[in-house]
């Protein structure tokens, strides 16, 4: 195995992630006293440079999307992502730091399941319904905790780990472009995958009935059914080229359609719609957004930031029709050709994207008590109220948090709740303080806007930096408390705030120094 010289020991500063390059790959080195930690340099999620990370709780904090990577072994302690980093043994020779690397080996490692654990207290069988972010994260966590009972994963989608956040942030031409790793290597015969659609779920009996009449049941049921895009009930909604963006087939359909059109209309100015607009602009497509609100995001981010986001779109050439709505979609020979607005104006389009929100997939859950948004109420352990042995994670779960009752539709949150549901299913007590709501959105500005925490009401906004043109942090205040921030850039400061909110929830102005 080749040995590579990374440099003099003296050049590596204490507790400072430092990039070191070899002929076969880049590494990140962290020195802590006389101990050196050497891991692969690029985050296994989307390739962020870990030499720009900060160190918190003996972990590297990814500067882009705040994954936690444990220094001691490269373990992915908090998502996003699903693969763990490989750690290389540091070799100290003659005042220099060296490592042995086999160039043909991958730069990541799939976490091997723990040996079969003591099964006392573990359920004999578990079914996970849904193979999205929450479902796959739950399965991976069960493996990593040494679960040795019968596990069945049920889904009408293949159990591949795709980053759904890329479906509107880029054009996905091939499935591999969105894949960020396979399901954790599992013991042979341990996981039974049911590639089928569930027709009915009896929560009382924890029994699933499939469309072909077959049934399965288990001692524990984890619901990770996700959400489905809403479609407007308007004339022409069924035409070819009218898409929603949710799963891989939607992303591939979008990619195929983009090759054949030069005009697109996006209905809705939420995160999906605005991201899709930015992406399509990069493909030299004339894009129009139709939205009921005059200023998108104003209620969430405040008018100053909202004006910046809209200005980014219009400066890039996007046509924005605020205070309006689509009355009908028009087409020819089964394919969309444009939309008709309520005021009579017509917008030509060979592609229409409906980006008007999603609804939790709970219709098949017999006996469930749903909230107004069709979600399920769960407790801190994610147990569904009123049903023994039933847990819910991801888009379907509304749970108590330090930000109040909360349901989040974001990918990292789904992965985190999947892990929590797995721990609860095995009789453990997950730590509520481990996570804070977090999402990122890619618009036209370099980098990503990141939002940490949650608030539906604020009485003041304090800014650091330049919220009109440059990097900034917006602190949303409710009296003396800051339950949420929005930021562009300023990665170190943002990462430290995310870790503080994960431990403590909403922060005071004094803690934040604002």
- Name the average pLDDT for the chain: 90
pLDDT, tens only, 445-458: 999 999 999 998 99
Output the pLDDT for position 71: 95
- Residue 389's pLDDT is what? 96
Q: What pLDDT, on the 0 to 100 scale, is given for residue 193?
A: 87
Per-residue model confidence (pLDDT) at position 81: 80
Of residues 20 and 164, more confidently modeled: 20
Q: Which of 11-20, 176-185, 235-244 has the lowest mean pLDDT?
A: 176-185
Q: Which pLDDT score, from 0 to 100, does residue 187 have?
A: 45
The more confident residue out of 305 and 367 is 305
Q: In whole angstroms, give the CA distance from residue 264 to residue 258.
A: 9
Q: Is the pLDDT of residue 174 over 80?
A: no
Q: What is the pLDDT of residues 22-79, one digit of tens each?
A: 999 999 999 999 999 999 999 988 889 999 999 998 999 999 999 999 999 999 988 8
**Is 90 exceeded by the pLDDT of residue 7?**
yes
| pLDDT confidence bin for 282, thresholds 50/70/90 | confident
pLDDT for 157 beyond 70: yes
Calculate helix-pair angle for 411-425, 133-144, nearest 10 degrees: 40
Q: 107 pLDDT exceeds 90?
A: no
Q: What is the mean pLDDT of residues 250-263?
A: 90
Q: Which of 264, 258, 259, 257 is nearest to 240 (CA)?
A: 257
Most confident of 95-104, 140-149, 174-183: 95-104
Lowest mean pLDDT among 56-70, 76-90, 280-294, 368-382: 76-90
Residue-wise pLDDT for 460-496, tens only, equals: 999 999 999 999 999 999 999 999 999 999 999 999 9
428 vs 148: CA distance, rounded Å: 15
Q: Which of 54-63, 157-166, 239-248, 353-362 has the lowest mean pLDDT?
A: 157-166
Closest alpha carbon to 66 in 85, 53, 75: 53
Answer yes or no: is pLDDT of 111 > 60.
no
Q: How far apart are CA 32 and CA 30, in angstroms?
A: 7
Count of CB atoms within 10 A of residue 179's CB? 15
Query: Can you tell me the distance from the alpha carbon of 339 to that of 336, in angstroms, rounded to the nearest whole number?
Result: 8
In this prediction, residue 219 carries a pLDDT of 97
Among 35-44, 107-116, 300-309, 418-427, which is the least confidently predicted range? 107-116
* pLDDT tens, residue by residue, 214-231: 999 999 999 999 999 999
pLDDT band at 391 (very low <50, low <70, confident <90, very high): very high
The pLDDT assigned to 117 comes to 52
In 3D, which of 352, 105, 327 has the Cα closest to residue 235? 327
422 pLDDT above the threshold of 80: yes
> What CA–CA distance (Å, rounded) separates 491 from 509?
19
With 70 as the cut, is the pLDDT of residue 184 above it? no
Q: Is the pLDDT of residue 1 over 90?
A: no
CA distance 335 to 149: 50
Residue 149 neighbours by CB distance under 10 Å: 18
CA 363/CA 13 separation, integer angstroms = 56
pLDDT at 178 over 60: no
Strand ranges in 108-159 using DSSP code E only, listed in sequence order: 108-109, 125-129, 150-155
Pairwise CA distance, residues 240 & 237, whole Å = 9
* pLDDT at residue 103, rounded to an integer: 82
């Amino acid at each position: 195995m080749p040995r590579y010289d990374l440099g003099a020991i003296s050049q590596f500063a204490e507790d400072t992630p430092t990039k070191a390059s070899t002929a076969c790959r880049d590494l990140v080195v962290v020195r802590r006293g006389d101990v050196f930690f050497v891991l692969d340099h690029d985050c296994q999620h989307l390739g962020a440079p870990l030499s720009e990370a900060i160190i918190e709780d003996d972990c590297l904090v990814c500067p882009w999307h705040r994954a936690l990577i444990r220094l001691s072994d490269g373990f992915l302690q908090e998502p996003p992502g699903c693969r763990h980093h490989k750690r290389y043994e540091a070799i100290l020779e003659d005042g220099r730091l060296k490592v042995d690397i086999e160039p043909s080996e991958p730069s990541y490692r799939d976490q091997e399941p723990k040996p079969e654990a003591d099964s006392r207290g573990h359920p004999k069988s578990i079914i996970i319904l849904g193979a999205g972010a929450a479902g796959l994260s739950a399965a991976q966590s069960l493996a990593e905790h040494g679960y040795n009972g019968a596990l069945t994963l049920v889904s009408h989608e293949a159990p591949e780990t795709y980053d759904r956040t890329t479906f509107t942030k880029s054009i996905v031409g091939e499935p591999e472009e969105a894949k960020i790793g396979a399901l954790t290597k599992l013991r042979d015969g341990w996981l039974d995958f049911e590639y089928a659609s569930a027709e009915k779920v009896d929560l009382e009996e924890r029994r699933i009935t499939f469309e072909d009449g077959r049934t399965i049941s288990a001692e524990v049921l984890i619901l990770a059914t996700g959400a489905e895009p809403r479609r407007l009930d308007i004339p022409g909604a069924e035409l070819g080229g009218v898409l929603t963006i949710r799963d891989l087939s939607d992303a591939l359909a979008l990619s195929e359609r983009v090759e054949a059109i030069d005009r697109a209309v996006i209905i809705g100015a939420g995160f999906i719609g605005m991201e899709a607009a930015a992406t399509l602009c990069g493909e030299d497509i004339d894009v129009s957004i139709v939205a009921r609100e005059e200023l998108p995001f104003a209620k969430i981010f405040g008018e100053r930031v909202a004006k910046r986001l809209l200005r980014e779109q219009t400066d890039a050439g996007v046509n924005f029709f605020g205070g309006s709505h689509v009355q009908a979609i028009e087409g020819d020979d089964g394919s969309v050709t444009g939309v008709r607005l309520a005021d009579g104006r017509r917008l030509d389009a060979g592609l229409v994207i409906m980006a008007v929100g999603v609804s939790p997939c709970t219709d098949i859950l017999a006996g469930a008590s749903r909230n107004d948004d069709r979600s399920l109420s769960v407790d801190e352990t994610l147990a569904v109220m009123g049903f023994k042995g039933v847990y819910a994670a991801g888009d379907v779960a509304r749970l108590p948090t330090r930000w109040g009752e909360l349901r989040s539709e974001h990918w990292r949150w789904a992965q985190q709740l999947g892990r929590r549901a797995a721990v609860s299913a095995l009789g453990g007590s997950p730590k509520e303080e481990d996570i804070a709501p977090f999402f990122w959105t890619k618009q036209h500005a370099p980098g990503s806007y990141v939002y940490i925490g949650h608030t539906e009401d604020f009485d003041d906004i304090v800014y650091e930096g330049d919220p009109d043109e440059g990097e900034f942090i917006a602190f949303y205040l409710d009296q003396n408390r800051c339950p949420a921030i929005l930021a562009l850039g300023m990665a170190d400061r943002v990462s430290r705030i995310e870790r503080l909110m994960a431990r403590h929830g909403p922060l005071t102005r004094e803690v934040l120094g604002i």
